[in-house]
Amino acid sequence: MFAATPLNRRSDRNQSVAKAVFGLMTVVLVIPVLLIIGTLVVKGAPAISWEFLFTAPRNNMTAGGIFPALVGTIWLVVVALLASVPVGVAAALYLSEYAPDNLLTRAINLAIVNLAGVPSIVHALFGFGAFVLFFNMGQSILAASLTLAVMTLPVVIVATRESLQAVPHAFREACWNMGATRWQTIRKVVLPNSISGILTGVILEVSRTSGETAPIMFTGATAFLAFLPESVFDQTMAMSYHLYYIATQATADVPEELTYGVALVLIAIVLMMNAVSIAFRVYLRGLKKW
By beta-carbon proximity to other proteins, the closer residue of 101 and 230 is: 101
Per-residue contact track with other proteins, 79 to 118, x per CB under 8 A?
-------xxxxxx-xxx-xxx----x--xxxxxxxxx-xx
Q: 150 to each of 79, 107, 177, how far by Cα in Å? A: 12, 17, 38
Out of 103, 119, 136, 288, the residue judged to bind other proteins by CB under 8 A: 119
DSSP state of 2: P
**β-bridge pairing 57-58 and 63-64:** antiparallel
Out of 173, 188, 192, 252, the residue judged to bind other proteins by CB under 8 A: 173
Out of 66, 71, 144, 153, the residue judged to bind other proteins by CB under 8 A: 153
CA-CA distance, 239 to 188, in Å (whole number)? 40
By beta-carbon proximity to other proteins, the closer residue of 141 and 231 is: 141
Of 51-59, 65-73, 172-180, 188-196, the segment contacting other proteins by CB under 8 A is 172-180
Q: Could you say which residues in the range 177-196 bind other proteins, by CB under 8 A?
A: 179-186
Per DSSP, what are the bridge partners of residue 221?
236
Q: Could you say which residues in the range 254-283 bind other proteins, by CB under 8 A?
A: 256, 259-260, 263, 266-267, 270-271, 274, 278
- What DSSP string describes 40-91? HHHHHGGG-SHHHHHS-EETTTTEE--HHHHHHHHHHHHHHHHHHHHHHHHH
Amino acid, res. 145: S
Shortest Å distance, C-beta 63 to other proteins:
19
Q: Could you say which residues in the range 209-248 bind other proteins, by CB under 8 A?
A: 210-214, 217-218, 240-241, 243-244, 247-248
Q: 181 to each of 173, 174, 177, 196, how far by Cα in Å? A: 11, 12, 10, 23
Out of 130, 166, 191, 276, the residue judged to bind other proteins by CB under 8 A: 130
Q: Could you say which residues in the range 38-57 bind other proteins, by CB under 8 A?
A: 39-40
By beta-carbon proximity to other proteins, the closer residue of 231 and 260 is: 260
Shortest Å distance, C-beta 116 to other proteins:
9
CA-CA distance, 188 to 177, in Å (whole number)? 14
Shortest Å distance, C-beta 188 to other proteins:
11
CA-CA distance, 225 to 54, in Å (whole number)? 14
Residue (of 268, 229, 262, 264) closest to 62 by Cα position = 262
Shortest Å distance, C-beta 206 to other proteins:
11
176 is a site residue for other proteins (CB under 8 A): yes
197 is a site residue for other proteins (CB under 8 A): no
3-state SS assignment for residue 251 = coil
62 is a site residue for other proteins (CB under 8 A): no
Per DSSP, what are the bridge partners of residue 236?
221
